[in-house]
A = this chain, B = another copy of it.
Amino acid sequence: MENFAFYNPVKILFGKGQIANIAAEIPANAKILITYGGGSIKSNGVYEQVKAALTGRNFLEFGGIEANPHLETLMRAVELIRAEGIDFLLAVGGGSVVDGTKFIAAAVPFEGDPWDILAKQALVKSAVPFGAVLTLPATGSEMNTNSVVTKAATQEKLFFASPLVFPKFSVLDPETTYSLPLRQVSNGIVDAYTHVMEQYLTYPANAPLQDRMAESILQTLIEEGPKTLADLHDYQARANVMWCATMALNGLIGVGVPQDWSTHMIGHELTALHGIDHAQTLAIVLPNMLSVQRDRKRQKLLQYADRVWGLSDGTEDARIDQAIQKTREFFEAVGVRTKLSDYGVGLDVIPLITDRFKQRGFIALGEHQDVTPKVVEQVLTLCA
């Protein structure tokens, strides 16, 4: 096991009815801004629950944060907060709303152009405190320091992380997810699954507990994910997928082990250039990344094949092929297509992406830093 530091002070309030408890988590005299997305919270009852919980409290609203939240939109919230003296934020929505709110929180007190937080990885020195009411299990943003924001003007999708943007609390009520469009439920399963794979499917680091915990999440997503699609009001299945998505990216399974993230880096470019949903890009790229990197990832691929898919017969390469195929089939089975052509994207996207990597100085990605633009090209060619 490698040395590590772990710190995660997010308070989780999990289960039905927990929105009613948020007022106790927000300073009594706070001037609150509720941030949200396209308005689904107004039709599914979540908005009413939040308003009821904040009865007698001082709050304003800022809606319209889009999927892959736009810098341009978020900066309007920053201006509102500065003008109104807001001192607590409450993100109500999915990962995009939480990610966007993290950026807003860091941008408000930032001296200079907040875009530098993303483009130049400028240090975040303070942030407005915030909580979250999560309505879409997927990104893990509700219990981590990460945020991904898109500059619409230039189609750039970039991330930042800071311990100052841990949510103070996050409410995870599985019932708030009942009304999600199926596409978002499907995407969430694939997103969480891939988060685990980026931290697990590298090379052995003598960290058997982290390995088993990662496999535990994968197995549970495989078991519970389809249930959430078969019965939209299966509380237990929704609860289990929701908790899996949080545990997939709250830092714990990644302590003391190498991490990859090259699938995500390529996926972000596909989203930025073609607007493909984040999880869809992961479903396209991950299986082919595993295939291209099979020699570097051989031992963990065999472990994955055995422990997650029960594949222990046949040659090593046959087991690896089957495990990759099982992964692809699982993504398809939960409703996420796995080819670029399924989304009307051709291979002409490849030079655009490799050029962007070169421009940004991403010489090589992955746990061995050997996913060069040439490897990216190889992977994307298989994604056709």
A→B interface (CB under 8 Å) = 1-18, 206-209, 212-213, 215-217, 219-220, 223-224, 236, 239-240, 243-244, 247, 252, 255-256
Contact = CB atoms under 8 A, between A and B. Distances in A.
Nearest to A16: B3
Contacts of A208: 219-220, 223-224, 240
A12 B1 contact: no
Contacts of A9: 7-9
Contacts of A17: 3
A13 B2 CA distance: 11
11 contacts: A1-B240, A5-B14, A7-B10, A8-B9, A12-B255, A14-B255, A207-B240, A209-B243, A209-B244, A212-B215, A212-B216
Nearest to A242: B1
Given A1-B240, A1-B243, A212-B219, 13 more contacts: A1-B14, A5-B11, A5-B12, A6-B11, A6-B12, A8-B9, A207-B240, A208-B220, A208-B223, A209-B216, A209-B220, A209-B240, A243-B255
Contacts of A255: 12, 14, 243
A13 B5 contact: yes
A142 to B, nearest CB: 12
A168 to B, nearest CB: 10
Contacts of A220: 208-209, 212
A197 to B, nearest CB: 16
Nearest to A9: B9
A1 B213 contact: no
A1 B220 CA distance: 13
Contacts of A14: 1, 3-6, 255-256
The 10 tightest CB contacts between A and B, nearest first, are A3-B15, A212-B216, A9-B9, A7-B11, A6-B12, A206-B236, A1-B239, A209-B220, A208-B220, A4-B14
A14 B4 CA distance: 5
Given A18-B3, A216-B213, A252-B252, A206 B240 contact: yes
Residue among A8, A9, A213, A223 with most chain B CB within 10 A: A213
A242 to B, nearest CB: 9
